[in-house]
Amino acid sequence: MTIIDNAVYVDGVRSAEPQSLEQTFEILAENGGMAWIGLYRPTKAEMTAVATEFGLHALAVEDAISAHQRPKLERYDDNLFTVLRPARYLDDTETVEFGELHVFTGRNFVVTVRHAEMVGVARVRRRLESRPDLLRHGPEAVLYALLDRVVDDYAPVVAGLENDIDEIEDQLFGGETTVSRRIYELAREVIQFQRAIHPLPDMMLQLKRGFEKYGVETELRHSLRDVEDHVERVISRADSFRDLLQNALTLDGTLTANRQNEASAVQNEQVKKISSWAAIFFAPSFVAGVYGMNFDHMPELHWALGYPMAILLMAGTAALMYGIFKRKGWL
């Protein structure tokens, strides 16, 4: 079912539960009040019916159908079109999942359009239905409550990201080879989170500019200012996460370079040792090779001390080279 919940509220109390959009429009025309229609991935025909009844702007309707919108607030005459990006932290995969919520508000209606599974809207509806004194303020109360819910749900996301960053710091000094990829993945999630929250202050400012013009109740004004404070804290934390990840990435590069230099130094020492021993063994082999060519005319070939001299020459050359390499620190 595309219609998740459909109700008409009179004086803050749920007075009717129409079974179709047509009934909603009829009841609203007869009894007045406020209609709150919750849709989940509506079809074009369903959105067209709602748009025709409530006079929704065609561009906003198109955005609501196609989705994939950035957070924004647009005013079309007396109607507001708000796009929010709810988020939740998934402990199992240590990732952040983002949703999309579109909210149409007018003089006597609220239409919420969801494009992802989320329980926040239902919770807001239940909370407002338990507070008729708040719900009787109309569509503005619903919009501010939805904003408050979305922003409150950012708190577990912030806590989850903060915990992931702490784990990365441990992995950096633990020498784990996969930490670079984890930093990149986490940085991408932080950037997506920033894209969801950075437009919110401007959206709040637009709403505050309409306080006097649209006669927003004092209680709702205080509610919006409270949400605004929460948004500023979340943005500050998210921005600090990006700085921490940038520093972690720099540190990871430094540690990786140091490890490579250490490995290269060890390798160089091994090469020196191998080269030194190869040179030491080459000298006796050269002497033995010369005297082993079996030519008739060789120096000292028929000399009685020729053999001991050759052995002594090989041993002496090897000892001399060993001493030189040892003093240079190659052995």
Q: What is the mean pLDDT of each run of 10 residues along the chain (331 residues)?
A: 85 90 88 90 86 90 86 90 92 88 92 81 90 90 92 93 85 73 86 93 88 77 88 92 81 66 63 68 65 57 64 74 73 67
Question: Which two three-digit tokens encode residue 64?
Answer: 């609501």
| pLDDT score, position 279 | 65
Positions of E strands within the chain = 3-10, 13-16, 34-40, 72-76, 79-84, 87-90, 95-98, 101-105, 109-114
Contacts (Cβ under 8 Å, ≥6 apart) of 252: 172, 179, 180, 183
| pLDDT score, position 307 | 63
Q: Are 109 and 35 in contact (CB under 8 A)?
A: yes
Q: Are 11 and 137 in contact (CB under 8 A)?
A: no
Question: Which two three-digit tokens encode residue 127?
Answer: 């909370």
| pLDDT score, position 157 | 93
Backbone angles phi, psi at 35, to 5 degrees: -95, 135
**Other Cβ atoms closer than 10 A to 180:** 17
| pLDDT score, position 306 | 63
| pLDDT score, position 290 | 60
| pLDDT score, position 84 | 93
Whole-number Å distance between alpha carbons of 74 and 181: 38
What is the CA 162 to chain-centroid distance, rounded? 11
| pLDDT score, position 198 | 93
| pLDDT score, position 86 | 93
3-state helix, strand, coil in the chain (%, to 5): 60, 15, 25
| pLDDT score, position 145 | 92
Amino acid at 273: K
